[in-house]
Chains A and B, each alone.
Chain A
Amino acid sequence: MHYWRFLDYWSEGNDRKNLIEEWYRNEGEELQAAFDTALNELAGTEDWRDLGWFKVLTGKHTGLCEIKIDIPENPVVPGRKPPATHYRPVGFIKREPGEFISGEFVLLLGCKKSGRSYEPPNAFDLALDLKRKFQEEGRGRIHAHSF
């Protein structure tokens, strides 16, 4: 049973883009498989509130959520958390604020995290801008997650 449905945001205009798909295609198979698996698990999880790998952002980026996906680097040392590359797909819940039990999640874009810096560096500002344009100005479209 799937409790959640995922949607992809498409920007408007001549350069109509699905940024989350572009990010996905530009990364390797390790990230692609982990991302697909993570979305599948989220879809089958009714309540996301205490999932350690799903985070509701606060402060400057309130309204956005990130999915934490870490790809461990080899070699793995037994008993220790291995160093990893941190990926952060970003989006928002298409419901009233504070609702985390079933619903729809809009995927905006993805980024890579290293320490306190992100690649692209303005990923969260851009994501917030896309969300605002969509929700307040009706710019852009959302379609069922398709890749």
Chain B
Amino acid sequence: MLTLSKIWNKLRNKKYRKAFVGAELKRGVPFQIRAMRKKLGWSQEKLALASGLTQGVISRAEDPNYGNLTFNTVLDIASGFDVAFIGRFVPFSELAKWVENLSEESVQVAAFEDEDRAAASVLGRIEPLGIREKAVAQTEEFKCGQYQPQMTGAASELVRSHAAS
């Protein structure tokens, strides 16, 4: 829909750039909340309960035209989904890539419990047995590049750092 070259040409206009960042923030967060809730098969009431909010607040949080979503509400919803939310400054190239690939699927995020289960399946091979040799061997595997936990992103980093320590 919005191709990288099309976005980039428009972003050359400073006023458009500022407006686009605002539109992506104000519309993008509601889009992701709705897409994640739908994927889980949750109603707005269920997300509200998990987040400690009311259904009305969730409804407004999913409305891209509301225009007054607060960080506190977003943090409560992040907690309801059991995922992280990071607000940070990024270069426009990162925004453009995010936008180009945007879809209900691309904005899905694993909950902590799912990530933890994946992490435990690897960490568990080292810790419960308490066999020092096994841990050393696994660490050696990691150093040799043979240790390949079946996970991605932050969980993978967690395992790597554990194995390396």
In the complex, A32 has a CB within 8 A of chain B: yes
Contact with A along B9-32 (1 / 0, CB 8 A): 010010110111011101110010
Pick the residue among A29, A44, A84 that contacts B104 (CB under 8 A).
Answer: A44
In the docked arrangement, what's the CA distance between A130 and B43, Å? 39
With A33-B19, A78-B68 as given contacts, are A3 and B27 in contact (CB-CB < 8 Å)?
no
Q: Judging by beta carbons under 8 Å apart, are B16 and A72 in contact?
A: no
CB distance from B99 to the nearest CB of A (A): 6
Range class of the B interface residue count: 20 to 34
CB distance from B54 to the nearest CB of A (A): 13
Contact residues in A for B31 (Cβ distance below 8 Å): 41, 45
In the docked arrangement, what's the CA distance between A98 and B71, Å? 38
Q: Judging by beta carbons under 8 Å apart, are B70 and A53 in contact?
A: no
Q: Judging by beta carbons under 8 Å apart, are A41 and B70 in contact?
A: no
In the complex, A112 has a CB within 8 A of chain B: no
Q: Judging by beta carbons under 8 Å apart, are A81 and B2 in contact?
A: no
In the docked arrangement, what's the CA distance between A19 and B71, Å? 38
Q: Judging by beta carbons under 8 Å apart, are B63 and A79 in contact?
A: no
Q: Judging by beta carbons under 8 Å apart, are B70 and A78 in contact?
A: yes
Q: Judging by beta carbons under 8 Å apart, are B27 and A41 in contact?
A: yes
- B 47-93 contacts with A by CB, 8 A: 59-60, 62-68, 70
In the complex, B102 has a CB within 8 A of chain A: yes
In the complex, A57 has a CB within 8 A of chain B: no
Q: Judging by beta carbons under 8 Å apart, are B20 and A81 in contact?
A: no
Contact residues in B for A84 (Cβ distance below 8 Å): 65, 67
In the docked arrangement, what's the CA distance between A78 and B70, Å? 8
Range class of the A interface residue count: 20 to 34
CB distance from A83 to the nearest CB of B (A): 10
Query: Nearest residue in B to A146 (C-beta to C-beta)?
Result: B6
In the complex, A2 has a CB within 8 A of chain B: yes
In the docked arrangement, what's the CA distance between A38 and B31, Å? 10
In the complex, A34 has a CB within 8 A of chain B: yes
Q: Judging by beta carbons under 8 Å apart, are A6 and B23 in contact?
A: no
Contact with B along A50-80 (1 / 0, CB 8 A): 0011000000000000001110100011111
In the complex, B131 has a CB within 8 A of chain A: no
CB distance from A36 to the nearest CB of B (A): 6
Contact with A along B119-155 (1 / 0, CB 8 A): 0000000000000000000000000000000000000
